Amino acid sequence: MTAEEPTADQRACVKRFGGDLVSIISLVQLRKQLFDAMEYLAARDQYSFGSARDLRSNDFHIQGEPVPMELLERPDLTATWGTTRITNSLIEGRTVVITGEFGVGKSVSLLQVYRQLASSFRKDATRAVPIHINLRDHRGQDDPVEALHRHARLIGFRQPDDLVRGWRSGQAILIMDGFDEITYPGWAGRVATLSDVRRANVALVRKFLAQTPSAGGVLLAGRAHFFDNDAELHRALGIPPGYVSLSASDFTPEQVEKFLAMNHLNVTIPDWLPRRPLLLGHLALAGALGNDPHDDQMSPAAGWNALLDRVAAREAEMEVGVDGRSIRRILERAATRARRTTSGRGPLRFDDLTAAFRDACGYEPDEGTRVVLDRLPGLGVAPGTEQTPDLPREFVDAEYADVARAGDIFEFVQSPYAETLKSEDLYGWVTLLGDVGLEVVAQRMSDSGLGKQSLGAALDVAVAKHPDSGLVVDLLRLLSREEADLGKRSPHVANFILPSLTLAGGDLTGTVIEDSIVENLEVTIGGSDWERMPVFRSVHFEEVEGVVGTSELRAENFVECTFGMFQDGAATASEILDLGLSDDAKVVLILLKKLYRQRGSGRKDSAMRRGGLSEPQRMIVPAMLNRLLAEGMVTKAKSGGTTLWLPVAASRTRAHEVLSAPMTTDDALLK
């Protein structure tokens, strides 16, 4: 055997002295006889790489190089790793584990490492060969040899035994994607805790690690919350000492810009938009980002609703017998159960998740479908529960949870007599719907063709069957926001904390709210409209928008109430309106204040004209909004025929600098 291709003299010498008993081959030829790596790589390139998909075609053949991810070394999360550094560590024989929440680019990172190793091998056939395995394809397996044989059949590689020899001989670097996506049969009733179940599930991974030669590097990836903690991950997977633990996270602002540029999207990113690569990709696929920053963008409600659908559909690709609609319902039922917690995000015990599965699917999870609960997208390990077995889960994002909890409210509006919500799930709610949740219900009603009268009918049923529930309060808030009329019953609610309440119209005659807190009251009515509004007794309002003070509130509607701040009050407005600036500049500052310093991710078009502005100043609001649009300081969206103005993430620093020093700034915005 020679290091390089044998020369003519070498071949002649071997033939002369060795005869038929001796042959001469190069190292590359010997390796090829053991394992035809070129053929393997050609076959592997024609099969999917985990959940990685091309943005435009949604195909697993990803054109070009994806945006490089910045992976942070755990536990300090200070040192940054790129795919090149990971590749070099694998070549050195190290084990690298990447964890992260759903949609942060774990599969894409593994694909990039695979491509780098494959490219290196094609240039120099003495290098290590990457073997990339989708663990979701190997449910029920715990033997590495059987798994490699199945992997070979799936990708169309004709010599599965060669694949085993290549791995055993140390020629390969093993890449395994999705340790959270495999299940092993026979777990029910035969284990003491969920950690035992998870350990049984990943037996295949543990044996791969144990049997891989010391010279062979291993790259693993899975969801961060699959295991309760690092100690369980280490025990269950059998990871060798000295392994590298990396965390995948959301895009940085620079990565967002590169992502959009690579996909030829010239858009202004609104503040509400999540920075998770998967979610950005889903929005782009849905056409939600548009191609012109001056066009109407997708509203937050429509965007979040579409995202939850796509996230659920993506989970259903695991093909464990649960479709996307059912996965979304599981998330929605789990979010309703989380309402009884202070944060509204959890913690949720496994019994809660099992009950959510049962409510959504109509049967108990079995050994195949239980994996859905272990990796529900958007849930992580609840903090502060490290001393308890089988750690509870919680929603990792407040808005994501709000969108999910809107599902049960919409289902009730759609079918109030269907008993989709059990009585025990309706009481003890500490967390009501937020603004995004309310908007999502309204959006889904519009998409389903449900009119405003549906709200009155649903509220009638809720008041009759569940009079003291948070369901009544959420429906009342939604009805008022949508300027709808009550049905036959007027609700009387007490002892709730309402995140927000909009008095925009409709007929709410007879409604009473007492002994409660309203964190934000938005008023868009006046005059005789007050006669059809609720009566508030002993209610504290933390913030009030739309009026300058109590003088604009009808005394009969506010009995023994207290007030915190009037956002549009004379004192607040005067800070801007008394400045020695032009009306144009004053209006621009008022608009920036509404968008960047007040509650919510956006404002209705009508709200932009309130706030102590004189009539001449109101007249120039449209022109100043267009100026902010041209400067990339705002973007606009449509929601049910209403124009919404949204802040822009990249402009937040600029907006605060202008608002902090309006008289001394040299920003062209005020010139």
Question: Which among 359, 389, 386 has a CA at the least distance from the CA of 373?
Answer: 359
Predicted local confidence at residue 573, as pLDDT: 54
Which three-class secondary structure string do you get for 551-581? HHCCHHHEECCEEEEECCCHHHHHHHHCCCC
Backbone angles phi, psi at 600, to 5 degrees: 95, 165
**Encoded tokens for 169:** 């001989």
Report residue 82: phi and psi, to 5°.
-105, 175
- What CATH number was assigned to the domain covering residues 581-670? 1.10.10.10
Question: For 178, which DSSP code?
Answer: -
DSSP 3-state assignment of 452?
A: coil
Contact status, residue 36 vs residue 159, Cβ threshold 8 Å: yes
- CATH class of the structural domain 35-247: alpha beta
Amino acid type, 214? S
Could you tell me which residues come within 8 angstroms of residue 358 by beta carbon, excluding any fewer than 6 positions away?
Answer: 364, 365
Cis peptide before 75 (omega within 30 of 0): yes
> Strands 492-494 and 501-503: what pairing?
unpaired
Q: Where are the domains of the chain?
A: 1-34, 35-247, 581-670
Secondary structure element (H or E) that encloses residue 498, with its range: strand 497-498
Work out the number of other CB atoms within 10 angstroms of the CB of residue 560. Answer: 9
CA Rg value for the chain: 30
pLDDT of residue 509: 92
Give the pLDDT confidence score for residue 197 in this predicted structure: 75
Give the burial class of 210: count Cβ atoms within 10 A of its Cβ; 0-12 exposed, 13-18 middle, 19 or more buried.
exposed
What pLDDT score was predicted for residue 611?
Answer: 58
pLDDT at 194: 64
CA gap 593, 662 in Å, rounded: 12
- Splitting the chain (671 residues) into consecutive groups of 10 residues, what average pLDDT does each group show? 87 88 82 82 90 65 70 84 91 91 81 93 88 89 93 92 88 90 54 68 92 90 81 87 84 71 64 66 57 61 82 75 88 93 85 89 77 78 54 81 93 87 78 90 89 91 90 93 88 91 89 93 84 94 83 91 74 62 84 73 72 78 87 78 77 82 81 76
Give the separation between CA 651 and CA 634, rounded to whole angstroms. 8
Reported as half-sphere exposure (CB side, CA atoms, 13 A), residue 96 has a value of 32
Please tell me the total number of residues recorded for the chain in this structure: 671
CB 142 within 8 A of CB 99: no
Give the pairing type, strands 80-81 and 71-73: antiparallel
Rounded-to-integer distance, Cα 469 and Cα 464, Å: 11
Quote the CA–CA distance of 508 and 487 in Å, as a whole number. 9
Specify the pLDDT at position 176: 95
Which residues on adjacent β-strands are paired with residue 544? 521, 566
3-state DSSP call for residue 300? helix
Which element (helix H / strand E) includes 175?
strand 172-177
| Residue 492, H or E segment | strand 492-494
Residue 115, H or E segment: helix 106-123
